[in-house]
Structures are given as structure tokens and as C-alpha cells.
Amino acid sequence: MSVRGLTPLFKWGFSLRRSKFLVPLVSNNILVSGEEAVTSQQIQPWTPHAVLSVVETDSSQPQQPICGCELDADANTCSYSDNIKLNDNSSILNHKDNCSPPAAAQFTNSPTLIRSTSTTSTKPSSITFSSTTTFTNLPRSPKSLLPSPTDLLDEDIINLVESGQIPPHQLETVLNDHTRAVNIRRNIAERAARRNNLEVPEHSLSTLPLLSFDYQQIFGSCCENVIGYVGIPVGVAGPLLIDGLQVLVPMATTEGCLVASTHRGCKAITVSGGSSSIIISNGMTRAPVLKMPSAARAVELKEWLEIPQNFERVREAFDSTSRFGRLKSIKTSIAGRNVYPRFKCHTGDAMGMNIVGKGVEKALEILKQDHPDLKIVSLSGNLCTDKKPSSVNWTDGRGRSVVAEAVVRKIIVETVLKTTVEALIELNQSKNLVGSALAGSIGGFNAHAANIVTAIFLATGQDVAQNVESSNCITLMESTDEGDLHISVTMPSIEVGTVGGGTALPGQSACLNLMGVKGPSKDKPGTNADQLARIVCATVMAGELSLMSALSAGHLIKSHMRLNRSKSEQIRGDSLPA
């Protein structure tokens, strides 16, 4: 009998509530079931515990009860003990519950049940008990008799998953070994990929890192169906002088030149006296879509929300859901009979999507009480707007709205950046302003803000998809009366947090530590996240300054040819991709 043919047993083993009884027959490391062997009364479900093998014993030896404990012949009962006893270098099954007398399990030539110590996988062969073999008055709960997945070989677990007996996303829970679960799942993924496409190599995931990672830390919080992790190089730019504080900025990227270029911009700004930053506003947003019976009723709801007393009722309900979430405003838009109230709130040091989501759900209960004809279509109506280009984030802001500025001395522009103030100003106007306007850009009046935002987000455990709105930026350059360069970047929707999500992972936590913004602020909630937003904005300014200088001086292709290609490409002399 094959392992795959025994899957109904394991289905019973993992879903015992569906069976009133389960009787064990033993077959070379695999426990099989057979209702036909039962001549007993009511039997309690059994819990998987160990894989068994059979060792035939002399019938003249004292009979062993089915629980596996040693027999106390004088008392005619089992010796209750949790101590492991050895028999032929194998561990006799532990006794977990009170046992019945030895008559509880009557065998012909009674076998001794032991834990298998075999490390090799062999096909199970069936074993037949004599016709006189009976099972009567079985022990109340012999937990040691059904196999536990932790005792099965990886190949057996894979067969159970592929046959639908174990859902692949539950491997960590079933095995209680996260690294083993990840390894088994990646083997299943490799097989499935090859079955669907024979061009996929047999061991397609062999170079995907597996070890040296705490999978238990991300289970249920950061990722599902894990098959490994991807290593991304982390470089450091700086120090960058921001508001009188020198900061080293970690950047995770696979794009050559990016860290080096940003580092050059940091140097030019720092030696010129540093940068300053200011937070214009702060508020995470969520805009549900609500439906009223008519457009007139939709307008009535909008006007109801604008009454101060009603807003206070909604605010109290919203604020009751979190220690840090504090509702600031509700701005309502209408389309037909649909209503889109855009809630904006403080979220402390968290990025805040969960906080604002919980608060909005509670606030909608108040709206529903006063407007029973209100229908909640969705918690998100896309006016929030999350992870999508939108003018509302560009004009009204989301997360932290920040401005960073610096004056870069003319001599530094010429010696460090290898260009001139006049050339930079002309290029910025022609490219970042006019060119972006012709492209119909929303929030894209910059050279490459998304490059720096994404690299810092990856390094610090932010929600990387939010680089869409977080990269909204306009870069401005002008000459001072002294002939130096004044540069500023305005970023109205930087969405960052120093607690929650991926910020707690060891590597990302270390990068936050490097900047002195790890975790919640002890003095004033939100201070650390504010500082991280300032750092992002100022570093974007450094990246803008350096790239624009390279474009102005005609150095872009030369530097990318030197730093942005793999060694093999350099040897082959391949051209840069278009």
C-alpha cells in the first residue's frame, strides 16, 4: 500500500471531529485504520502523536497494554509514568493518560508498540492480524497511537499536501517547525512549477536563501505561503546634515549608482551648511463609499457631517478605538447618491492604515444610527487614496507633508557636482517642470524621487507599494543673491511609520536604529515617524541634486556604465538596456 493510498487515514487524523472512533492497525511506520476491526463500544477520538512500527514479541512474555506502558502484574494495571523507557534502542511510547487494565487491549502474540527510529523512507507493507485479534474497551485517550506530522518524513508531508490532506498555508501550524515548513513548501512549489512548465529547472529555487532567517517572526504578520527570502544589498548614504543633526541613511537597492549618487548629494549639502525641513501637515486618510436613497439624501448626510456637534460625536467614536488615533477632519465629496467622507487622523508613530480603518468603522456606526437608510458599500472608496496616483494626495496630502530645503554654495556645485548653478536651474525648469507638465504628470515634477523613497522604504520595513503616493514631489531650484543654488523639494504625501509591519524585523529594525528613529517615541507620540519623513524628504533632495548635476554635466551614461552593470555584462560589453 502506498503512502498516497493512506491519505484517508491522515484526513481522519487531522479532522477527528468527523469520526466517532478510530482503530489502529499497524503497517511499517504507517498507522492505518479499519472500522471492520472494531468490536468495541464507544471510543473517544484519538489525537495524532507518533509514528509506530511493530516488533513481534514472544507470547510467553507479559502482555503489553495498547498504551505502550509497562505492566504492573501485581496490580493488574499499567504503571503510570511519564518516564521514557527504552527497548532495543527505541523509545517506548509515553503514557499520557490513565490506562485501563491490560484487558483493554488483547492481542494474539501481542506486539510491542514502539517509536520508530528509522531514518530511511520505505514503502509500507500491509500487516494482517489473526482472526482472533480484537480491540475491546480501548483506553480513554491513548494520544500516542496516531502519527503526528512532526514524525513523518518530508516526502510523506509533501504527499499529504499534494493530495489535499494538509493545506499548504497551514504547514507551520501543523509541523510546529517554521523552517521545515518553508523548506517543504518550496519543494512543493518547485514540483508544481515543473509540472506546469517543463522548461522550469528541476531545482529552480535552489539559490533562494532558506536558512538564517526567523520565519516565526513573520508568521501571521508579514507574509504568507513563505518559501524563503530575498537578500537585497543595503548601502549607506551620508552623513546628511538635517536640522543640525547628522544622519546616515540606509538604502536597500539593486540599482548601481543610486547610493553613490545620493551620497554625493548628501556631501554637497552637508559641506554647504546642511539642510532644514518642516512638516506642513500630518494625517492618514481613509474614505469609505456610502450610498443614500437619493442625491438629496446624500447632500443631507454631507451637511450633517459639517455640523460641529455631529462631528464631535463622530470624533469621539473614532478616537475610542485607539490610544493614538485622533480624528482631525472629514472632507466629504458626492457623486450622484454616493457619499465619500474622507477621514483624516493622527496615528502616532504608526503609518496608520489599520488605525484609521478601525476608527472609520466605528464612526460609521454613528452615521448609521442617525441615517438608517445609509448603505455602507465599502470601507475604501478610492478617495483615500492608497497606492494609486491621485490628485487628492497631491493637493490635500496624506501621511506627512514635508518640505526640505538647502543652499548649496557655488564653489561646491562646481567642484563636487561638476556643473554650474545656471545649468542646474535651466535643466530643472525644462525637465522637472515643463517636461512633467507636458506629460500630464500628477506629483511627478522631479527627476527620480521614487528611487530614494523606495530604497529607504525597503531598508526600513515600510509598505513599499506606498511609494506611489509617497514619491509625489516637486523639485525647485533658483539662484540666491550671492550666486549660490537654493534647492527645495516639497513632498505632500510621505507615508511612513516606525512601529508595526516590517519595521519590527531584525534587519529593518537595525536600519531604523541607525537613524535613531526605531519604535515609538517615548516623549511625544509621532516624533519618530515625523523624523523619518524629514529624513526621506531631505535624502530625496540630495538624490535630486546629484542626478540633475550628472545630467547637466553629461555624466549619467558614463557613471552607469561603470557602476550599474553586472561583472558578466562588463566582460561581454553588453549595451545598457533602453
Question: What positions carry a catalytic annotation?
Answer: 255, 387, 463, 560
Give the integer Cα–Cα distance in Å for 46 and 196.
Answer: 39
Residue-wise DSSP of 368-391: HHH-TT-EEEES--SSS--SS--H
Q: How far is 70 from 531, CA to CA, in rounded Å?
A: 67
d(CA 305, CA 295) in angstroms, rounded, equals 16
H/E element, 24: strand 24-27
For the beta carbon of residue 205, count every other beta carbon within 10 angstroms: 17
CA atoms within 13 A on the CB side of 55: 15
Element (H, E) at 179: helix 178-196
Short-list 57, 11, 10, CA closest to 31 = 10
Q: Are 102 and 69 in contact (CB under 8 A)?
A: no
Residues 6+ apart with CB under 8 A from 136: 39, 40, 41, 103, 104, 106
DSSP 244: T
Tally the C-alpha atoms within 13 A of residue 275's C-alpha that lie toward its C-beta: 35
Check the CA dihedral 443-449-451-453 and report its sign.
negative
Provide the 3-class DSSP secondary structure of residue 475.
strand
Residue 324 phi, psi (nearest 5): -115, -25
Residues contacting 203, CB < 8 A, separation 6+: 190
| DSSP structure class, residue 60 | T
Contacts of 568 by beta carbon, 8 Å cutoff, 6+ apart: none
* Contact by Cβ (8 Å): 140, 97: yes
Q: What angle do CA 194, 196, 199 make, to 5 degrees?
A: 50
Q: What angle do CA 323, 535, 281 make, to 5 degrees?
A: 50
Closest to 398 (Cα-Cα) out of 538, 494, 506:
494
